[in-house]
Every structure is written in structure tokens, then in C-alpha cells.
Structure 1
């Protein structure tokens, strides 16, 4: 079977630094090559997929190039990771993975696949394959240092960086944050922390976008990852990366997070600032034996890329038989589950 992935984003595959969708595509291609499939990738010309995954083939393309011009003639299934400019021109079996949350008026193709069960349900569909990570790529550690870790786009309000900073200031706890903007240089974005610049600069370390050995060490040595997001999380890739590293996760019960994190086993699902603060205190107070138990459960229960690859292979076989992955009577829910917002009361 010849699978052709279509992901012509601004970032190369595999990505360097930021690039969530691109990272998932890279991992999936690796797993499919290991399955014995033939795999090609239509993507940014700077992509190094052929070097990173021997056997994979790169077809350079930008997002405006008509897809019909670049699909190989011997392609069996096209796996789209973004909407092409000409979806009607796809003349071979296909499916498309929706990696984000779409608005109520967004067009969804028939063979749309979502990255978690709750993600599919939010869009009125049932077809999903949960994201997974290559657990062996991550540095596992049962020994932890003392800091709170935030690895997300800190400038996006729904990632809730403000609450991570509140926890750090309240608990006098170092906070290591990824992101683009310095909190003490952007008062319009970061608000009241700018009234405490000395304490903020002492506790908060802005990392920029991290990758490679630095990211692996941060994930492995953190006692807890902060991911108490204020939106319906489609899958939470960094949550899986933390769990693969043996690190429990502090999160909200929004979106797919309860599918990946078990409260009191591999992390905490919190619905208030007070509960978040107590969860961080609990993590910091773990005995060595408790740290080992939590780390092992996280590693054992993390969603893995091998399962993701098997899930997609089953869907490829369905579309090759001419099946449709959704039906016309599926509709988006009129009243989706409300978002739990965890913030400190001012």
C-alpha cells in the first residue's frame, strides 16, 4: 500500500522547535515505514523527512499548489493533514485528519478523522484515531527537580499561562515556560505580574521554543507539567510527551484530556484554582516511592504512536473498500459541553 501524506504547512517535517501537527505526521510516517508500508510526503521543501526516515519520499509543495498536480500516479490512499485548495479534485481514496477545533460554519469533508473521541464529538462526528507518541524517544526519569513546567504557546490566552504564573508566585516555585513573549516586557498581555517584576524575574524562566535534548531533560525532570487549559483540547500532544517521560500532568477536564490523563493515577483533573494549587503541592511532596509509582504509571499508560498507526491503517482499508467514514445525518452539537476555566480570583 502506498500512502501519501499531504501537509504543506510553513514548518518543515520533522519540525525544529514549534510544530505540533508536523511532529505527529513525522511520527506516523516513521511507524508506517516500520509497518512495511510505502510512504510519500507532500510538504514544505525544507523538510528533512528522507534523511530522518529512510524509505520515505518527499514531494516538495506549497499550500497553494493544486493537489491533483502532485499526487503520484501509483498512490493508493491520500492522507490529508490540512484542507487542500481543490478537495473536489481528489481522484483517489482519501481521508483528512482534523488537528484543531473548527468553527460551527467550517466545512468538514466526509472522510474527516479526529484526534480523540471528544474531539470528534465536539464536531458532531464519531470517527477518530487518538494521537500517540513514540515513547522510547523520550528520556524517562523517576527522579525529579523542583519546578513547574509549561510547554505551550504562552501568548495564546486559552493555554492559560497566567494561571501557571499565579501558581509559581503563590507557591514560590520556579516556573520554566516556553513561548515567544517575555511576561515582564508585555504588560498589555501579562497584566498584574508586571507589578511584581523582581519576583517574576526570579521565579519565571522564559525558554523560547525548545526542542532536542533540552526539551527531553525538561520533561523528564519536572515533577509536574502544567496543562490546565481553558479550551476544548483536541489531544494535548505535550501531555503525552510528559507522560512518556514519567511526568504527571495537571490539567482541566476539557476536551480530550480525561481520555489521556487518569485523575490521581497519572495526573490531576482540576476545576478550580484551589484544586490546582493543592495538586502541585501534592506533586512536590511525593516520597521517592510515590514518584516512582507515578512515573511508571505515566509511562505505561501513555497513548503510543504504534496504536495510532494501526488505527489509521484500519481506516485506509475502509476507504479503499469505498466506505464513507461519516454520514450526512451527523451534526455538530447545539450545546457542547462548557469549558472549565481555572483562574485565580483577583
Structure 2
């Protein structure tokens, strides 16, 4: 099968720093290729993926300017119209509008959402003649909150588990960890409160948001607690550092205050054998399997109580269970199964 993967331009692949969908695009391009398929990509100029043909469009720069974003739409339209008969499957991680030229044609299309879904765009597209169009969201919670109609499926995000090291046993005094962008909705202040209430160490990793109100949040609610001993801030981390710190953590704390579509950090922790203790919001209920890969709690007191259960936690079983659900090869096959079962809508 010949597959085209499309992504908004702006971030180079392979990703050097932060990357959301870009990491997934790189991962699934390689997974599809390993499964015997021919893979082309329409992604940022200068990007490379081993074994795949890359058609570069759009320059590096995130977020793109309004002019560059509009230019990308017309470039994608020309590309897809010209090659509409060359592909068996178009897997789109970019804007839904990119698919406009190929909507009525028999090429099978998967439109994947990893962030909030704009229902107005969905309704507009569904009023147009279309065939073989499947929508996916990275959690059922995300799809249900959007209240959209159409051929929708939940397909979770993934990681390559072979890039993460299992740490089957950690020391009794191993630290807790908070990993993510330091914004109020991510709940870093709650993680600090939990660490202090239980007299445990906490390692905080992640970049501080450049927004003024989030910088003020860091300055007033986070920075005053950082002492380098009990509460340690190590800044943004690369992939190797993330693997190291997650592996030696007692647990990953995720006291989110918003409905996060899918926190990849959860499965990154699980890949190291590290349990996730998270507030039941967004995708947490679906991703964390109680007592196996972590604990779902409703409030700060519940998070504190969950820490008392860690002495019996099986870190090896945690990784094995998570890999069976979220490894890149597993999720890639789920996407291709959608392609196999997709049926025309008109």
C-alpha cells in the first residue's frame, strides 16, 4: 500500500526539542514502512525520515505567521489534487482543510485530531460530497466533548517503547516527578503541595510558558518553593534526560486542572515502569489502568493516599501492560485497520 502522511509545516522532523504531532508523524511513518508499506510525507522543508520520500513545504517556524499558514493550505491543495490517484491512504495530522481537493475521491482518508476539535469545520466538511473519510481522536473524552457526528474512532497516541528503559526497582527515597510545561492548568503547584505534605522529594522538569500570566504563576507559586533539595527544578529536558529522570522516579504526578486530550508523558512514564498518579480529567480515565499502570484520583488528598500504595506496585507489569496498549506498532496497526474497514459515506 502507498501511504501519504500530511502535517502542518513549522517544525522539522526529526524533532530536536518539543514536538507533538511531529513526533507521531515521524513514528508512524517508520512504523508503516516497517510493516511493508511505501510512505511519502508532506511536511516542513528540510525534514527527513529514513526510508521515506519527503516532499517539503513551508518553512521552519512555530507558530507560523498567518501568511505562511494560508500559503500552506494552497500548497497542500495543489499537491493533493495533482497526486489524488497515487495513494491508497492519506493520513492527515494537519488542518482538515488540506483534504478538501480529495474529499469526493475513492482514496481513503484518515483525519487525526490530537487537540481540541473544531466542530464547525467538521460540519462544513460533512455537508460536502465525501467518500472514505474516517476521523480519529486521541481519546474518547476528546471526541465526546466536541459533540461531533460522522465516522469517528478513538485511536490513542503512542511512543516507541524500545526507546525507554525499564527500571524495575527504585530506592525507597526515590523522588516524585512532575514533567510538563509549567502552566497553572498542569497543576505543578499541587505536585509541590503533595511532596511537602508527604515530606518527599519532587523533581520538576519542563519549560516555563512565555505567556505573561503563566510567567507570573511560575514566579509566585512555583519558584519560591524551589530549594534544590526537597523541591528541585531541572528545566526543560531532552529525550535522554527524560528517560533517565522518569526511570528513577517513584511516581509521576499529574494533577491537571483541565481536560487534557492525551498526555504522552503518561505513557512515557509507564514505559520506564513508573506509575502515574493523576487527577481524573480528560483522557486520564482511559489511559491509566487502576493499580496496574497507576492511580486515578479526584483531589490532592487522593493523590497523597495513592502514594501509600507504591510499595506493592509492579513496575515491570506496568511497562508490559502499557506497551500492549500504546506501543507505536500497536497503534499503527489500529490506524491501518480503520483504513481496511472504512466505507464510503455517499
Give me the TM-score of the superposition, normalised by structure 2.
0.80
Matched with 2:142 is: 119
Please say if residues 77 and 100 of structure 2, whose CA atoms lie closer than 8 Å, have aligned partners that are also in contact: no
Runs (5+) with no aligned partner, structure 1: 328-346
1:247 and 1:193 map into 2 onto residues whose CA distance is 26
Does 2:89 match 1:89? no
Matched with 1:341 is: none
Runs (5+) with no aligned partner, structure 2: 59-68, 127-133
Residue-by-residue CA offset, 1:271-308 (whole Å, 9 max, x unaligned)? 0111112223443xx1xxx35xx212211111222221
Distance 1:202 1:193, change over 3 A: farther
1:60 and 1:204 map into 2 onto residues whose CA distance is 44
Matched with 1:132 is: 158
Query: 5 Å matches for 1:25-174?
Result: 25-49=25-49, 53=50, 55-62=51-58, 63=69, 64-65=71-72, 66=74, 67-71=76-80, 73=83, 74-83=86-95, 85-90=97-102, 92-102=107-117, 105=120, 107=122, 109-110=125-126, 111-124=134-147, 126-145=152-171, 146-155=174-183, 157-174=184-201
Matched with 1:233 is: 260
The secondary structure found in structure 2 opposite 1:70 is: helix
Please say if residues 96 and 121 of structure 2, whose CA atoms lie closer than 8 Å, have aligned partners that are also in contact: no
Matched with 1:181 is: 208
Structure ranking higher in helix proportion:
2
Residue-by-residue CA offset, 1:109-140 (whole Å, 9 max, x unaligned)? 55321112332222235422122222222111
2:283 and 2:225 map into 1 onto residues whose CA distance is 37
Please say if residues 77 and 99 of structure 2, whose CA atoms lie closer than 8 Å, have aligned partners that are also in contact: no
The secondary structure found in structure 1 opposite 2:54 is: strand
Greater RCO, 1 or 2 (C-alpha within 8 Å, sep 6+): 1
Does 2:344 match 1:323? yes
2:282 and 2:208 map into 1 onto residues whose CA distance is 27
Does 2:273 match 1:246? yes
Please say if residues 276 and 293 of structure 2, whose CA atoms lie closer than 8 Å, have aligned partners that are also in contact: yes
Matched with 1:342 is: none
Please say if residues 59 and 70 of structure 1, whose CA atoms lie closer than 8 Å, have aligned partners that are also in contact: no
Matched with 1:296 is: 316
Distance 1:168 1:17, change over 3 A: farther
2:14 and 2:272 map into 1 onto residues whose CA distance is 20
1:10 and 1:123 map into 2 onto residues whose CA distance is 26
Matched with 1:255 is: 282
Q: Which runs of 4+ in 1 moved over 6 A?
A: none
Cα displacement (A) at 1:151: 1.7
> How many equivalent pairs are there?
309
The secondary structure found in structure 1 opposite 2:189 is: helix
